[in-house]
Amino acid sequence: MAVNKDRKLKIIPLGGLGEIGKNITLLEYNDEIIIIDCGLAFPEDEMLGIDIVIPDISYLIKNQHKIKGLFVTHGHEDHIGAIPYLLKKIPNVPIYGTKLPMGLLANKFIEHNLQETKLNTINHGNKIKAGENFRVHFIRSNHSIPDSSALAIETPIGVVFHTGDFKIDQTPINDMPIDLQTIAEYGKKGVLVAFSDSTNVERPGYTMSEKTVGAKFIDIFKRAKKRIIVATFASNIHRIQQIIDAAAIYNRKVAISGRSMHNTIDIAQKTGFIDIPENILINARDLDKYKDNQIVVISTGSQGEAMAALSRMAANSHRQVKLKKGDMVIFSANPIPGNEKTVSSVINKLYEKEVEVIYEALHDVHVSGHARQEELKLMLNLLNPRFFIPVHGERRHLQLHAELAEEMGIHHNNTIVGYNGDIIEVTDNYIKTTSKVQSGNILVDGLGIGDVGNIVLRDRKNLSENGLIVAVVTIEKKSGKIAAGPDIISRGFVYVRENEDLMEESKKVVQKALDKCFQNKERDWSAIKNTIRQDLNQFIYNEIKRNPMILPIIMEI
Catalytic residues: 197, 370
Residue 383: phi and psi, rounded to 5, are -80, -35
How many Cα atoms are found within 13 Å in the side-chain-facing hemisphere of 37? 34
Give the sign of the dihedral formed by CA 386, CA 391, CA 394, CA 400.
negative
What does 448-484 look like in DSSP terms, one character per residue? EES---HHHHHHHHHHHHH-EEEEEEEE-TTT--EEE
Neighbours of 381 (CB within 10 A): 12
Q: Are the C-beta atoms of residues 37 and 80 closer than 8 Å to each other?
A: yes
**Alpha carbons 470 and 490: distance in angstroms, whole number:** 6
Strands 158-162, 441-445: pairing is unpaired
308 Cβ contact list (under 8 Å, min separation 6): 258, 299, 300, 301
**Alpha carbons 556 and 554: distance in angstroms, whole number:** 7
**Alpha carbons 118 and 215: distance in angstroms, whole number:** 41
Q: Where are the alpha helices (DSSP H) in 167-206?
A: 180-189
425 Cβ contact list (under 8 Å, min separation 6): 8, 9, 10, 11, 431, 432, 433, 434
Give the sign of the dihedral formed by CA 359, CA 306, CA 233, CA 199.
negative
